[in-house]
Each structure stands twice: as C-alpha cells, then as structure tokens.
A = this chain, B = another copy of it.
Amino acid sequence: MKKEKILEVAEELFAEKGYEGTSVRDIAQRAEVNIAMISYYFGSKEKLLEALIQYRAGYTSNLLDILKKNPNEDPIHKMEKVIDVYVDRILTHHRFHNIMSRQLSMLSEAHIKEQMMAIKKQNLDIIKKIIEEGQKKKIFRKVDIELTVASIVGTISQVTLSKSFYCRLMNIPEINFDEYSLRIKNRVKKHLKKMILTHLIADMNQSSKSTS
C-alpha cells in the first residue's frame, strides 16, 4: 500500500539525512508517489513523523511484556533475556532508533519529543524493574540503577548509531548495516551480558578497590 511505502521511505530518509534534512520532495520521489500525497495522507511533514512513530512504536512493547510476565524466572536470566531481546530490536529497527535518538537529543521542547520519551521510558522501566527485583531478592548488589540502565542502552546505541566509526575502530572495511548487524550482534549480546551481570553480581571486595 502506498501509505506504508511512504512511511518506510520516510524512515529510510529521516535516518539517512535527518528529519529536517529530508524534504517531502525527496520522500515522494523515492516512494514514487505524487508530492501532494504526503499532505493528503498525513496532513503535514510533522504529522508524517508522528505517524511513523505510531507505526513503529509497537515494535517493542509486545515482546518485552511477555518477558516481564514470567514472574518466577530469576532476575539473572531475565536480564540476559532482556539484553538479547533489546539488542535484537534496536539492531533490527536501527533506522527508527536512529531517528528517535536524534529527536530526543534536541534540546528544544517539541510535542513529538514527548511521544518518543514515553516509548523509551516504557522500555527502560522494564530493565529498571528487573534490577530492582534482583536487588530485593539479594541476587544483585547495590548499584546505580539508572546509570546501569544507561550503560545497557548506551552501549547498544553507540554500536548502532556509529557503524562507520566502529568499523574503523575494529579495522574492518565499511559494510552495509545488515552485514554489520550480523557481525556484531552476538558480540554485543555477549559483552553486555558479561559486563552488566558482573557489575550486578560481583562481590564487594573486588569492586571496592577500584572505586575512588
């Protein structure tokens, strides 16, 4: 359907060149539709972005909720599962993640930022709650919860948003995102699980000597 085509092309181009850097002409052209269609379908460029958010918003909620509903599983396995799922999601929807990250880092207030923050909060609250649960069960030690969450998301974001940079850092040639994703997905999962769980479980002796 043409409406979906426009949404997908918009996602592509917003990710490539940014929201402001993309013109509706560009979108119409690549989507092979008349330029007036965008206003016709979505009302305006901004509403197109909103529609894109709605279109992609669901990509996260369903699955993470399922995970959250296994109340008997121990927090360690929950955390591992969350990391697996989260890495998969962001790498799969890297374009949308890209767009969201840029909009969220805008300092100026916009009504659209709210929607994006709501989506992000929904996800990160899940991680937060797993850590809290683990602490309550004395399985996880006391850590800075919000910043631990930031480290998980931040790591995935870095890798996702700066493909060309990490290609260079790893001394591999620039490749397209799918290949890149294939190459690093498991590395990221392994690294994150190792680092975060060590962080959450390590006994106090070791950690105390390294903090100032």
**Interface residues in chain A, defined as those with a beta carbon under 8 Å from any beta carbon in chain B:** 15-21, 76, 80, 98, 101-102, 104-108, 113, 117, 120-121, 124-125, 128, 143-144, 146-151, 153-159, 161-162, 164-166, 168-170, 187-195, 197-199, 201-203, 206-207, 210-212
Contact (Cβ within 8 A) B18 A124: no
Complex: A207 Cα to B188 Cα, angstroms:
15
List residues of chain B with CB within 8 A of the CB of A121: 165, 168-169
Complex: A164 Cα to B113 Cα, angstroms:
10
Counting every copy of the chain, the complex holds: 4
Contact (Cβ within 8 A) B193 A210: yes
Residue among A146, A149, A159, A189 with max Cβ neighbours from chain B (10 Å): A146
Contact (Cβ within 8 A) A165 B198: no
Query: Smallest CB-CB separation from A128: which chain B residue?
Result: B169
Contact (Cβ within 8 A) B17 A106: yes
26 sample A-B contacts, Cβ–Cβ < 8 Å, listed by A number:
A15-B107, A17-B108, A19-B21, A98-B105, A101-B105, A101-B161, A104-B164, A104-B165, A121-B169, A144-B191, A148-B191, A151-B155, A151-B192, A153-B154, A154-B157, A189-B212, A190-B211, A193-B210, A193-B212, A194-B207, A197-B207, A198-B198, A198-B206, A202-B202, A202-B206, A206-B206
